[in-house]
A and B are shown apart, each in its own frame.
Chain A
Amino acid sequence: MELEDLKKLIELLKETDITELQIEKEGTKVRIRREKFFTSLEMPTQKTAPIQSTIIKETEEETQRLITVTSPIVGTFYRSPSPDAPPFVEAGLRVKKGQVLCIIEAMKLMNEIESEADGIIVKALVENGQPVEYGEPLFLIEPL
């Protein structure tokens, strides 16, 4: 096995959750092991992705910890202040208490809904432009 092959193997491994790998080829034995914290140290930019994926596979206990933001009114749900503007929040982003999460329009009244806690947006539950009912869940937030 060439050094190049070994490097490639290590790179490949970094992108996975595998912590240990053993290969035997033409009499050469290679074992690569890494500690779990290695992942988060190596890939800080991807930090939000694992959080999201773990929470989607949530247990009951985790669901209870999440805050569900519900609609206080009947109306149309908007994720951005105007059609061309970027959304107020995205899954994986941190929000502060009092930060605007979305707008719900009823009778041309634009109701900006605030986050009631500091946390991370786990999921936006409604598509832009969809009608929402009173009490309908809009976002899941993991409180910090």
Chain B
Amino acid sequence: MPENILQLLKGKAGFISGQEISDSLGITRAAVWKKIKKLRNKGFIIIATPSKGYKLINSPDLSKEEIEIQVQGDLWKNIIFYQSVDSTNEIAMLSSAKNDTESGTIIIADRQEKGKGRLGRTWISPPGLNIYMSIILRPEIEPKDATLLTVLTSIACALALRGISGLKVVIKWPNDLMVSEKKLGGILTEVRSEPERIKTAVIGIGINVNIENKDFPAEIRDIATSIKNETGKYLSRSEIIIRILKEFEAWFNVFKSKGSRPLLEKWKQLSSTLGKNVKVAIGDSTVSGLARDIDEEGMLILELKSGSLRKISAGDVTILR
């Protein structure tokens, strides 16, 4: 990617002259001014003095530009930002079904009108506060290994959130991000498959960042939390997204070179479910037991009271005390 005006501004602690920007980017002073105006419109605060030039004072907490200059790798190709969408996963599934979206495209929205949870449930998605994003990938893997993408994503999110907030974020099987036994985030992976191969995978990530407890709907207030709630601090959503994408790419490379084993090991370390007595709701029935392990695809292995083992592929887990 060629050098970018935001990169130049961020690279200087003090002022950078219009001439310097113009020389570095090979554009006219008038074009420089236009670009500055564009950034200001997006919420960047840039002061300009005729003698010294430009200085970046503050960045918006969520911006495509900021993420773009930080996330440049082999995996990530394209970031599409929306102010408001029905659901980032829905947009990602629609555009990838038409085959015109590159693998490595990331869709980010400030707000979702119909944030998607599992099986038609909603994900609370007010504007200006949280992260709603979907990653489009077309990995060369078999449908049965698609669950490893969920394993990978939950590892990437847990590690990124631990690093940036200092919170002890853990993973509740299969893919809830938890802190203090409350839900901080969730992952909803949707895959389109032909019998033998995955055509496209969309990994939706929702993270409660700066939302206050009082702003959650009453029915989830006791079971949901945010980074702001837990730490008392506002965090930049761009910084978190950048960190997640970097962790994701690192673990994706591990998966490609070494297979699923290191992922499963890491997942077990970060899990809050294994070793606990749990209740799993599967459709209309429930089953209780000790969460023993996960298998090579990430399925939960439950030890029932009778001592027999049962493999669980889907269900809502409650940890019993």
Interface centre among A72, A78, A109 (most CB of B within 10 A): A109
Interface size on B, residues (CB 8 A): 33
Contact A111 B143 (CB under 8 A): yes
Question: Does A144 interact with chain B (Cβ within 8 Å)?
Answer: no
Contact B143 A129 (CB under 8 A): no
Give Cα distance in the complex from A10 to B175, angstroms.
Answer: 64
- Tell me which residues from 114 to 136 in chain A have a Cβ below 8 Å from any Cβ of chain B: 114, 116, 129, 131, 134
Q: Do A109 and B120 form a contact, CB below 8 Å, given A76-B283, A114-B192, A114-B199?
A: no
Q: Among A85, A107, A111, A134, which residue has its beta carbon within 8 angstroms of that of B193?
A: A111
Give Cα distance in the complex from A81 to B196, angstroms.
Answer: 22
Q: Do A74 and B120 form a contact, CB below 8 Å, given A107-B175, A108-B187, A114-B193?
A: no
Q: Do A76 and B120 form a contact, CB below 8 Å, given A108-B174, A109-B149?
A: no
Give Cα distance in the complex from A112 to B188, angstroms.
Answer: 13
Can you list 5 A-B contacts with CB-CB less than 8 angstroms, sorted by A residue number? A75-B313, A105-B119, A109-B147, A110-B118, A111-B143
Contact A85 B150 (CB under 8 A): no
- Tell me which residues from 306 to 320 in chain B have a Cβ below 8 Å from any Cβ of chain A: 311, 313-314
Question: Does B100 interact with chain A (Cβ within 8 Å)?
Answer: no
Q: Do A110 and B144 form a contact, CB below 8 Å, given A76-B283, A81-B120?
A: no
- Tell me which residues from 183 to 240 in chain B have a Cβ below 8 Å from any Cβ of chain A: 187-196, 199
Contact B314 A75 (CB under 8 A): yes
Contact A72 B142 (CB under 8 A): yes
Interface centre among A75, A76, A108 (most CB of B within 10 A): A108
Q: Do A107 and B314 form a contact, CB below 8 Å, given A72-B143, A82-B120, A114-B199?
A: yes
Question: Does B146 interact with chain A (Cβ within 8 Å)?
Answer: yes
Q: Which residues of B contact A100 (CB under 8 A)?
A: 192
- Tell me which residues from 105 to 150 in chain B have a Cβ below 8 Å from any Cβ of chain A: 118-120, 142-144, 146-147, 149-150
Q: Among B143, B192, B313, which residue has its beta carbon within 8 angstroms of that of A107?
A: B313
Contact B189 A72 (CB under 8 A): no
Contact A106 B193 (CB under 8 A): no
Question: Does A17 interact with chain B (Cβ within 8 Å)?
Answer: no
Q: Which residues of B contact A111 (CB under 8 A)?
A: 143, 146, 190-193
Contact B313 A76 (CB under 8 A): yes
Question: Does B298 interact with chain A (Cβ within 8 Å)?
Answer: yes
Question: Does A83 interact with chain B (Cβ within 8 Å)?
Answer: yes
- Given A107-B299, A108-B118, A114-B193, list of 15 further CB < 8 A pairs? A69-B195, A70-B195, A72-B193, A72-B196, A73-B143, A83-B120, A105-B314, A106-B299, A107-B173, A108-B187, A108-B189, A109-B189, A110-B191, A112-B190, A113-B193
Give Cα distance in the complex from A83 to B117, angstroms.
Answer: 13
Give Cα distance in the complex from A84 to B196, angstroms.
Answer: 30
Contact A134 B144 (CB under 8 A): yes
What is the minimal beta-carbon distance from A18 to any residue of chain B, in angstroms? 43
What is the minimal beta-carbon distance from A130 to any residue of chain B, in angstroms? 9
**Chain B: which residue is nearest A134 at the CB level?**
B144
Contact A116 B188 (CB under 8 A): no
Contact A82 B150 (CB under 8 A): no
Give Cα distance in the complex from A76 to B147, angstroms.
Answer: 13
Interface centre among A72, A83, A134 (most CB of B within 10 A): A72
Q: Do A112 and B283 form a contact, CB below 8 Å, given A75-B313, A107-B299?
A: no
Q: Which residues of A contact B193 (CB under 8 A)?
A: 72, 111-114
Give Cα distance in the complex from A82 to B117, angstroms.
Answer: 10
Contact B190 A108 (CB under 8 A): no
Q: Which residues of A contact B119 (CB under 8 A)?
A: 78, 82-83, 105
Taken residue by residue from 63 to 81, chain A's Cβ proximity to chain B (1 for < 8 Å, 0 otherwise) reads as 0000001101111101001
Contact B314 A76 (CB under 8 A): yes
Contact B120 A110 (CB under 8 A): no
Q: Do A73 and B189 form a contact, CB below 8 Å, given A82-B120, A107-B174, A116-B194?
A: no
Q: Do A108 and B188 form a contact, CB below 8 Å, given A72-B196, A75-B314?
A: yes
Q: Among A74, A84, A114, which residue has its beta carbon within 8 angstroms of that of B313?
A: A74
Contact B314 A106 (CB under 8 A): yes
Give Cα distance in the complex from A16 to B194, angstroms.
Answer: 41
Q: Which residues of A contact B142 (CB under 8 A)?
A: 72
What is the minimal beta-carbon distance from B142 to any residue of chain A, in angstroms? 7
Q: Which residues of A contact B190 (CB under 8 A)?
A: 109-112
